[in-house]
Amino acid sequence: MDRLLYLGMTAAKHTELAQASNANNLANASTAGFRADFHALMSKPVDGAGHQTRINSVVESRLSDFSEGNIMTTGRDLDVAIRGQGWFVVQDADGNEALSRRGDLHLTADGMLINGAGQPVMGDGGPLAVPEHESLTIGSDGTVSVVPLGLGAESLVTVDRIRLVSADAEQLRKGEDGLIRPVDGGIPPSDAEVRVSPGSLEGSNVNTVEAMVNMIELARRFEMQVKMMSTANTVSEAGARLMRME
């Protein structure tokens, strides 16, 4: 009964984790540039002395779906969507660089360009700051240009270029803060081939119908695994009663 109990117990534990990840996907279905997560599970014998009867269901890894989301036209000057593969470079809470597909950009009161999560967007010269201006334009290569206050459209000035990079999806992992980082820790250099669509926004790649179906399936799976543990306990108690009768 040990094998049955351990398998049911650990499977229920990781099904609960998978349900939490699925719920997080649903909660971020409307978050710009969000990438859905999923867990890869496998059965693994418990090492140690004695018979190999105990089996754990373990999380092999937490992975993310890096496929593209739908691109919507917004007409907003500070909305940008990456075309095809590529990433924005942003600054995390610790001041380190990380990757994101979130293109709902905003300007702070002091002119810093940030995304919808409040993370500073990096330019080729560091965190991108925009001076006071009459109008702002973002080019398809990520170049940010402004018309300074009090001047006409012919006085267009280039401020900086949003730093855009390419990376192999197999070498990327999502952190607890939702940002993407290469497994080797190094941020790739700027890639001049990456292009953006100004006035557009990439949505999340979460399939809400599939996520709802997964939620129901995981709930039923959890119930089955709890029932498995209950059955193991019932069988164990029945065996104990037979032993006492002898």
The SS3 assignment for 227 reads helix
pLDDT digits (tens, 9 = 90+) for 30-42: 999 999 987 666 6
**37 Cβ contact list (under 8 Å, min separation 6):** 21, 24, 25, 62, 63, 64, 65, 174
194 and 76 housed in the same domain: yes
Let me know whether 179 and 228 are in one domain.
no
Q: Which domain holds residue 79?
A: 71-202
Q: How many domains does the chain have?
A: 2
Q: Are residues 104 and 182 in the same domain?
A: yes
Whether the pTM exceeds 0.85: the reply is no
d(CA 146, CA 157): 5
- 52 with 111, same domain: the answer is no
| pLDDT tens profile 209-235 | 999 999 999 999 888 888 888 887 777
> 114-169, pLDDT tens digit by residue?
999 999 999 998 999 999 999 999 999 999 999 988 887 788 999 999 999 999 99
- Residues 118, 138 share a domain: yes
CA–CA distance from 51 to each of 2, 44, 46, 54 (Å)?
10, 14, 10, 8
Question: What would the two tokens of residue 89 be?
Answer: 């470079």
